[in-house]
């Protein structure tokens, strides 16, 4: 596993579960509406920068460098809160998104290609009909 040097608090770092590249997914969510904006990747240092600067910082897998969301596009993500999930393998970054979150120019990254999915009903099971 690749772990780059970081100033991240060791107590937080010890809770993280990283992939073989030393990364974990970071889900960006609009703080006031709950809208899921995008998924990026972080390592320990990207999380440290996010926690200490108030700006969402990610690790670009394609460029092999850190990027602060909005530094080139102007579409910043201002951090409102950050939470580690129960397994330590993902973080939720609640942000105030300025402009589109997606590099394609859409508000979020999940509007371009919706998949056909059967909509479930929590009161009905596939075999038994309505729950009793």
Residue 87 labelled as part of a binding site = yes
Residue 9 labelled as part of a binding site = no
Nearest residue to 4 via CA among 17, 23, 27: 23
Residue 102 labelled as part of a binding site = yes
Residue 32 labelled as part of a binding site = no
Residue 89 labelled as part of a binding site = yes
Q: What size, in residues, is the chain?
A: 132
Strands 91-97, 24-30: pairing kind: parallel
Residue 85 labelled as part of a binding site = yes
Cα atoms found within 13 Å of the Cα of residue 20, Cβ hemisphere only:
0
Annotated binding site: 85-87, 89, 102, 109
Annotated binding site for Mg(2+): 85, 87, 89
Annotated binding site for Zn(2+): 86, 102, 109
């Amino acid at each position: 596993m690749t772990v780059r040097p970081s100033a991240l608090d060791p107590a937080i770092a010890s809770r993280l579960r990283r992939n073989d590249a030393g990364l974990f997914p970071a889900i960006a969510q609009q703080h006031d509406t709950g809208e899921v904006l995008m998924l990026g990747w972080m390592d320990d240092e990207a999380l440290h920068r996010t926690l200490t600067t108030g700006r969402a910082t990610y690790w670009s897998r394609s460029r092999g460098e850190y990027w602060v969301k909005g530094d080139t596009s102007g579409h910043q993500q201002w951090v409102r809160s950050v939470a580690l999930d129960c397994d330590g393998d993902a973080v939720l970054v609640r942000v105030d998104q300025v402009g589109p979150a997606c590099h394609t120019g859409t508000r979020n990254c999940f509007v371009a290609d919706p998949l056909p999915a059967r909509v479930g009903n929590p009161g009905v099971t596939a075999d038994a009909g309505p729950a009793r």
